A and B are shown apart, each in its own frame.
Chain A
C-alpha cells in the first residue's frame, strides 16, 4: 500500500515557543533519515521543494484563458516543503515513518495520505 508523506514546515517559525523552535532538525538529521528510508526498501519516490517564494500558480478559466499568478505566499500556518511516497503494509508503519521524519519536529508536521488505487 502506497502512502504519501507530505512534509509541512511552520511558515512562521518566530511564533513557536522556545522548546519547539530549539527542536528543529539539522541538515545531518535529514541526510540520515533520507538514507534510512532509501535503504529500508520502502522508498518509492521523494523530492524536497524549493522555497515557496519561487512558486507560481496557474488557473485556467472556462473560456480557456490562462491566469498566472506569483505565489501562493505563506498565508497558511504550514507550507509544503517536500514529500516522500513509501510502500508499506499498513497505516501504522506509514505513521511510524512519518514520526521519524525530521520534518515532523520543530513546529512542522507530516500529513500521511494513502495513494488512491484505482485497480483494487
Chain B
C-alpha cells in the first residue's frame, strides 16, 4: 500500500507527511471500521482508506490540515468507495441495496464526542476474531485492521515471508466475503461465547511479543505494546466486561518487568534474579487497580486470576517474601476454571516455593506423562531447577540439557548453557 511508506520521503512535505502518518496510525482503524460498516466489504474499505490517505498527502500540503482530519478522510474515502462501486457494473445492484438500507436505517448516530469519527471498531474486532477463521488468520487480521500494521510488519511479527502473510490475509478476507462472516457486535447472549476469542487474539499477540517463539531477540516489545494498545482499546469499547479489565491488567503487570527481564547483553534474567527496582511502578499500579475491577462483582475469569498472580509477584520485594500460599491458592482457582497441564506445572513450581523442592518434584513427576509438557521446555527447566536445589546434580544437568534441546530463542538457550556450565565443575561432564 503506497500510503504506508509516505513518511520516508523527507523534504518540505515531511512534516505534513508525518502528521498524516500520525492520523493514519491513530485513526486508520476508526476509518476502516466506519467504511466496513457502511459498505460491508473489507477489501474495498482498505483500498479507499489508503486512497484517502494519499489524497490527504496531495491536498493537505497545499490547503493545510483540515480542522477535522478524521472526518475529512472519512468523507473522501466514502466518495471514492461510491465511485468505485459505480464503475463496477456488477456492484451497481449492491450499491442500490446499500442506499436503500441506508435510507431505512435510523439517523446516523452522533459522532464520538472524543474524536471526529464514530467508533465502529468493536464490530471489526469481532469479525477479525471470528471463530470461523483460523487462529493465525484472526491474529493477522486483527494486527492489520485494528493495530494498523501493514502486511510486511505483520509478516515480521510472525517471522514469515511477506508473500506468505499476504496470501494468508487474502485468503482470510476471501472467507469473510464469500462465507459472509458478518460485521456485527454479538448480542449480550452471544458475548460469553465470542468475547474469549477476541481476548485470546490480543493475548496471543502479547505472548508472541513477550517471548518470541523463535529467533535471536528474547522479546519484541513493539508487539507486546501493540497488544496493550489493543487491550486498552477493548477496555474503552467494553467498559463493563470484567475479563477485558483482567486481560489488560495481566498484560500491564507482566510488561512492567520488561526492562529487568534482559541483561546488558540481551541475556535472559529470570524472575528470581531480576532487579526489581527496574520494574515499571506506574504500570504496576495501573495493573493492580484493574485487577481489583476484574475481581469484583462475581466469579473471576481466567485473565483476572492470572493477573492477580502476576500482581502478587509484582508487589513482593523479592522471591522469598512473595506470598506463595496465596499464589498456590490462585493457581487452584485457575486450574478449576481452565484445567491444563501448563497451569498444573506453574502450580507445582509455586508449591515448591511454599513447601520446598521435594513437594514440587513430586507434583512434576506426576505430570511426566503429559504429552503437552514433554516438548515444553519450561517443564524441564522447572524440574532441573528443583533437582539442583535438592543437590541431585547429575539429574539436574540431564533436565537442563533436555530443556536446552527444546528452548526456542537464543537468549533462552544461552541462559541454559550458563546454568549448565555452572552446574558441572570444569573437566567433569555429567
User: Which residues of chain A from 79 to 120 have a CB within 8 Å of any chain B CB?
Assistant: 89-92, 95, 114, 120
Q: Which of B90, B180, B184, B186 contacts A1 (CB 8 A)?
A: B180
Question: What is the chain A residue whose CB lies nearest that of B186?
Answer: A92
Q: Does B100 contact A (CB under 8 A)?
A: no
**What are some 22 contacts across the A-B interface (CB < 8 A)?**
A1-B180, A89-B180, A89-B182, A90-B180, A90-B181, A90-B182, A90-B184, A91-B130, A91-B132, A91-B179, A91-B180, A91-B181, A91-B182, A92-B181, A92-B182, A92-B184, A92-B186, A95-B132, A114-B178, A114-B179, A114-B180, A120-B90
B174 CB, min distance to chain A CBs, angstroms: 11
Mask: chain A, 44-73; 1 = CB below 8 Å from B; 0 = not = 000000000000000000000000000000
Give every chain A residue within 8 A of B132 (Cβ-Cβ): 91, 95
Further 9 A-B residue pairs, CB within 8 A, beyond A1-B180, A89-B180, A91-B132: A90-B182, A91-B130, A91-B181, A92-B182, A95-B132, A114-B178, A114-B179, A114-B180, A120-B90
Identify the closest chain A residue to B193 (Cβ). Answer: A99
Tell me which residues across on chain B come within 8 A of A95, comparing CB atoms: 132
Which residues of A have CB within 8 Å of B180?
1, 89-91, 114
List the A residue with the shortest CB-CB distance to B194: A92
Q: How far is the CB of A115 from chain B (nearest CB, A)?
A: 11
Number of residues from B at the complex interface, CB < 8 A = 10
Query: In the complex, A33→B179 CA distance in Å?
Result: 24
| Number of cross-chain contacts by CB at 8 Å | 22
Q: How far is the CB of A85 from chain B (nearest CB, A)?
A: 15
Number of interface residues, chain A, beta carbon within 8 A = 8
How far apart are the CA atoms of A86 and B179 in the complex, in Å?
A: 13
From residue A107, how far is it (CB to closest CB) to chain B in Å? 20
Residues on B facing A (Cβ under 8 Å): 90, 130, 132, 178-182, 184, 186
Report the bound CA distance from A90 to B132 in whole Å: 12
- Closest residue of A by beta carbon distance from B131: A95
Residues in B with CB closer than 8 Å to A92 are 181-182, 184, 186
Give the docked Cα–Cα distance between A115 and B178 (Å): 9
What 10 pairs between A and B have smallest CB-CB spacing? Answer: A90-B182, A90-B180, A91-B181, A114-B179, A91-B179, A1-B180, A92-B182, A91-B180, A91-B132, A114-B178
Contacts of B130 in A (CB 8 A): 91
C-alpha gap A1/B130 in the complex (Å)? 18
A90→B186 CA distance, assembly (Å)? 13
CA distance A28 to B281 in the complex (A): 61
Q: Which B residues lie within 8 Å of A90 (CB)? A: 180-182, 184
By beta carbon, the residue of chain B nearest A117 is B178
Expressed in whole angstroms, the minimum distance between the Cβ of A61 and any Cβ of chain B is: 34
A1 to B177, CA, bound (A): 12
A1 to B180, CA, bound (A): 8
Tell me, in angstroms, the Cα distance from A95 to B130 when the chains sit together. Answer: 12
CA distance A91 to B133 in the complex (A): 12
Chain A residue numbers with a CB within 8 Å of B181 are 90-92
Residue in A closest to B93 when the chains form the complex, CB atoms? A120
B90 smallest CB distance to A (angstroms): 7
Distance A120 CA – B94 CA, assembled complex (angstroms)? 10
Question: What separation, in Å, do the CA atoms of A91 and B127 have in the docked complex?
Answer: 11
Cα distance, A95 to B90, chains bound together (Å): 28
Residues of A close to B90: CB separation below 8 A:
120
Task: Report the separation of the CA atoms of residues A74 and B233 in the bound assembly, to the nearest whole angstrom.
Answer: 49
- CB closest residue in chain A, given B90: A120
Residues of A contacting B178 with CB < 8 Å? 114
A89 to B101, CA, bound (A): 14
Q: How far is the CA of A95 from the CA of B184 in the complex (A)?
A: 15
CB distance from B123 to the nearest CB of A (A): 12
Query: Which of A91, A95, A120: most chain B Cβ within 10 A?
Result: A91
